[in-house]
A and B are shown apart, each in its own frame.
Chain A
Amino acid sequence: MNWVAFKMLTGDKTKYFGIVFGVSFAALLMAQQSAIFCGLMRNTTSQIRDIQGGDLWVMDRNVQFVDDTKPMSENALYRVRGVEGVRWAVRLYKGMGRARLGDGNFQQVILIGVDDATLTGAPAMEQDRLVHGRLEDLRQPDAVIMDEFGWRYLWPGQAFDPNNLKTIEMNDKRARVVGLAKCNPTFQTFPILYCTYSQAVKYVPQERKTLTFILAKANDGVTPEALCDRIHSQTGFRALTDEQFFWATIGYYLKRTGIPINFGITVALGFFVGCAIAGQTFYLFTIENLKQFGSLKAMGVSNIRLMQMIMLQALVVGTIGYGIGIGGAALFGYVFERIVTNAPPAFYFPWQIMAITAVAVFVIITIAATVSMRRVLFLEPAVVFR
């Protein structure tokens, strides 16, 4: 009888595609909007993921997220180094700079100053993140390494030429772009500039305190979490592992911005619109087939069998609709990343989105099937004689 159910479902192509469209649309909307939301949230943490090398980040106790820079005094570095269990600790500058371009235009940039001696935190060659230039080039005078998106944004269509380096000015100081690095897309979408710490503090207007973060490594046998607690208790600074800082930053954006609510509304709309379209179409499909269901009932098909048939029909449209919706969302992300090359994409499509969308689609088709089933279950088989 499953075969009969399938034939009944696909017999009227218009209605069949209508139901599949409803489910596909819902799945597409939910998955695509969730992926953009996850992409945006993930972009807020791009610097945490890009700046590697240490086990933990030390910062002012009031810092709430990675872009919330509250400079500390230089003493902070020595205090952290003095905590038992710290193998090493280095400076990191992170702030916003204002770059003056060759054409006189100004552009906000994200400025990251890494430790002069070790270059800890800079894009590492071993991770294949340097597209042009070498990490050691940062030790040259006025040298900066820019992220690829920033380069494409500032000089669209121009290739990097090591013999003709681009120069910009920040705080009346010259900066030469000596290399390009792959960086994760940022939330602010500004170009990212890596340079040495001593160089970075010259690129911003002078402040009494400039140390924004300290990157630290734990001794063998000391867990980063335990070291964070120790640093906090002994120095009063906030110390977080990469993962803790990642979630603290996301938590801040979730709590303090309207982003999740807005995306949540769109995802919910996708769910409800999907429910409405798929539910209504499926319901109408069942109602129009009520006489057929009545005939089957009269001919000896039990209610349980009819429920199985309707559920099978719902599962078929649900699976196809889900596949099309998820495929459409993935295609959107793929095309989006390839078409929009001069702006960081905000699209992240982890398996969790697929799983959650699958659950939502299952709920949609179950609701649609249940609403339809009621009419069939309470259908008097004698209706076939009316």
Chain B
Amino acid sequence: MTASGPNSAVALRKLFKEFGTGDAKITALADVDLDLPYGELVLLVGPSGCGKTTLISIVAGLLDATRGEVDVLGENLTKMRGGRKVRFRGTNIGFVFQQYNLLPALTAVENACVPLLIAGWNRSKAVAKAAALLTEVGLGSRLHSYPNQLSGGQQQRVAIARSLVHEPRLLVCDEPTAALDAASGRVVMELIRKVAVQPDRAVIVVTHDSRVYDFGDRIVQMADGRIESVEIPKVNLVSSD
């Protein structure tokens, strides 16, 4: 559906995903071809149940496709299994979740350093790097606050810091503004654009929120498990800045 080539962070070919068998079989993705380039923020939009979440789950290596080819960051995920896939996720992919999914027992800075701990970093070094990133996202004064002491927007900023602290090459965001008011949602999207979009990194954002469409370099519209269209907005916030 878009230009493919060595610049594609994600390349999907003839992708199918089915759940269940027989009469209960549900086709969540059907014949999906998609290329997502580095250095862009791609919005994945569409109605509920259209397959957005299934698609990013497969791209992030959390789900296996039923058929088709999945190339992410130059690696063929279709053939990747077990521990290798887990390590691939840990090293290359950052996640931002709709409900933030911060560990309530950890402070902001402790939450933000978790991916580094997973990678085997020393705790003090990991905390130092996470603290620097949290300061960059405007939470320098809330490093030691627990999630329940932070607003929704602040929690999402912690989640963004956590998703980027280990410098992944692909950032996957699932409805990052869904639980936020309009102003906070905008702040979060601005932050993702500012700190996450890099020439060697791709960002995929699943959203229902039409208010944030302006932030996308590319908008992939889905319906019924298929790609309906891929649009490049004439003016986005980056070019308007």
Contacts and interface: CB of A to CB of B under 8 A. Distances in A.
Interface in A65-89: none
- In this complex, the interface size class of chain A, counting residues with CB under 8 Å from chain B, is 20 to 34
Given A11-B106, A386-B53, 4 more contacts: A7-B106, A8-B106, A296-B118, A384-B62
A243 interface: no
A300 interface: yes
Contacts of B86: 297, 300-302
B97 A299 contact: no
A384 B123 contact: no
Given A7-B106, A8-B105, A291-B101, A382 B62 contact: yes
Given A12-B105, A302-B86, A385 B117 contact: no
Interface of A: 1, 3-4, 7-12, 291-292, 294-302, 380-382, 384-386
Given A3-B117, A299-B95, A11 B104 contact: yes
Contacts of B119: 300
B118 A300 contact: yes
B103 A384 contact: no
Contact of A299 (B53, B89, B98): B89
A4 B114 contact: yes
11 contacts: A4-B106, A8-B106, A10-B105, A295-B95, A298-B95, A300-B86, A300-B90, A300-B91, A300-B119, A384-B62, A385-B57
B32 to A, nearest CB: 16
Contact of B90 (A291, A295, A299): A299
Given A380-B62, A382-B63, A296 B114 contact: yes
Contacts of A11: 103-106
B57 A382 contact: yes
A-B pairs with the 4 shortest C-beta distances? Answer: A300-B90, A11-B105, A382-B57, A382-B62
A300 B101 contact: no
B125 interface: no
A11 B147 CA distance: 12
Contacts of A10: 105
Contacts of B110: 4, 7
B107 to A, nearest CB: 9
B60 interface: yes
B87 to A, nearest CB: 7
Interface string B47-72: 00000010011001011000000000
A296 B105 CA distance: 14
A1 B62 contact: no
